[in-house]
Amino acid sequence: MDYTTLTVKRPSATNLNEENLPVTSLYKALHGLADPRRDQGKRYDLAVVLCLLVLAKLAGQTNLSGATQWIRHRGTVLAQRFGLTRQEMPCQTTYCNILAGIDAQQLDQLLSAFFQRWEAQSRCREEPSRLLTPQAQANHRHLAIVRR
């Protein structure tokens, strides 16, 4: 099995606020997805549930029951990493209901845009643009544009 280590460099400029930074976290990107559930009885944030499913898929789980088992076996570590107060993970029905309720096209667009940005940032790294002046290069960010 091949392993990959990704390194994300933080911008060093002190005058940048959080709104201007590109989204480097899948968790943050998934917060842009509309949650179709009612507020009553929500135990888990939509972004957390979807991140757990993406992690299970990246770990090689091919179906929902396998993903549920994979997440449950790593529940304590995942709860610590996501800052969850509950140690138990969602059941398979929760995942099924959430996946049935979300807009699949919106999720697909959000994930593809995130991973395209991620790849573009890792490919370009801190490569300076030939079109910018040295002053503008200090505030320059690489962006991936999807054309359809």
Mean pLDDT, the chain, integer: 78
49 is a domain residue = yes
Position 126 pLDDT exceeds 80: no
* pLDDT on residue 34: 87
77 is a domain residue = yes
Position 131 pLDDT exceeds 70: no
Same domain, 109 and 139: yes
Cα–Cα distance measured from residue 44 to residue 84, given in angstroms and rounded to the nearest whole number: 9
3 is a domain residue = no
Number of domains in the chain: 2
Range of the domain at 141: 103-148
Same domain, 107 and 88: no
* pLDDT on residue 19: 47
86 is a domain residue = yes
Same domain, 90 and 54: yes
21 is a domain residue = no
Cα–Cα distance measured from residue 144 to residue 114, given in angstroms and rounded to the nearest whole number: 9
Same domain, 98 and 56: yes
In this predicted model, what pLDDT tens digit does every residue of 41-73 receive, in sequence order?
788 899 999 999 999 999 999 999 999 999 999
CA distances from 54 to 5, 27, 68, 90, 133 (A): 17, 10, 11, 14, 40
19 is a domain residue = no
Cα–Cα distance measured from residue 125 to residue 140, given in angstroms and rounded to the nearest whole number: 12
pLDDT > 70: what percent of the chain? 68
The residues, ordered by sequence, that sit 6+ positions from 76 with a Cβ below 8 Å of its Cβ are 87
First CA to last CA distance, the chain: 34
